[in-house]
Homo-oligomer: A and B are copies of this chain.
């Protein structure tokens, strides 16, 4: 037997007042007699009354939930961000709905739609595609609060929190060049993804600034999972003239590269040098430790959540585009390459 939770009506009946009065007593607005208020509160307590947020939301048009659509919570980068967003949401009396787009545009669209039909108050999204984003533009033009993280989307005019991907990638590749490398590999994920584009463009910029011509054979594309990255790395390094250094665009791919190198008997940094984008706990546990481009992960989620709540509280400032700096953290996975 499912015991129905007590409603305002029940409370009102027990306290012998109307629903309106009960509501006033419990939410303390309007005029309520002192004695009446106590009676209502006692009744509420006795029945274990909790207001139905659903009904409230239907009435006032908005559910105190924020929606968060990320690539995959299993990626520690996104897990950290999701966690930080949840903490802030909780402080403001909101809950967090999470969806993984799995980097599939269609999934992102349908998730967003399903969350919109819940009258969710605002969204934080790491868009899968830098181009196909009519769904996001529509959100913005309907004035639904939206904050993009990790990636921006073309033509979508809203708050965003990203890092300097191009600069970070350039620093990494320039460092490799400084260390004498010229055949520098790039392990990247799908070009649809904003970060992938920017990091690639940093890679190119570094090469061309140093008079190294772009060589497609140095570039491998794979999905951003450890397994796919292993395969891609193996392909890249099975060539006749493999790279002498590798730059990977995210931590899962860095892990994949590490596994691939181990299985191929390639040693770091003796045989090949490695720099990954995005620091991760594993990077300091390996021998040698991995040199990485680190981003301020702990800031991204927090700042995005704060921006969202500013919008939710009705601020109508022009969109803020926040871009954090990245930092090259030199550890032991890069060695000097004797010119060959």
Contacts and interface: CB of A to CB of B under 8 A. Distances in A.
Given A51-B117, A282-B281, A86 B99 contact: yes
Contact of A113 (B50, B74, B286): B50
Given A54-B58, A73-B83, A87-B100, 6 more contacts: A5-B116, A53-B117, A54-B63, A90-B111, A95-B114, A98-B98
Contact of A100 (B86, B97, B258): B86
Interface string A62-78: 01010000001110100
Contacts of A142: 2-3, 5
A74 B79 contact: yes
A22 to B, nearest CB: 17
Contacts of A286: 285-287
Query: Copies per complex?
Result: 2
A194 B54 CA distance: 34
A209 interface: no
Contacts of A119: 52, 54
Contacts of A72: 83
Nearest to A141: B3
Contacts of A241: none
Nearest to A1: B143
A126 interface: no
Contacts of A113: 50
Contacts of A143: 1-3
A315 B90 CA distance: 33
A226 B281 contact: yes
Nearest to A113: B50
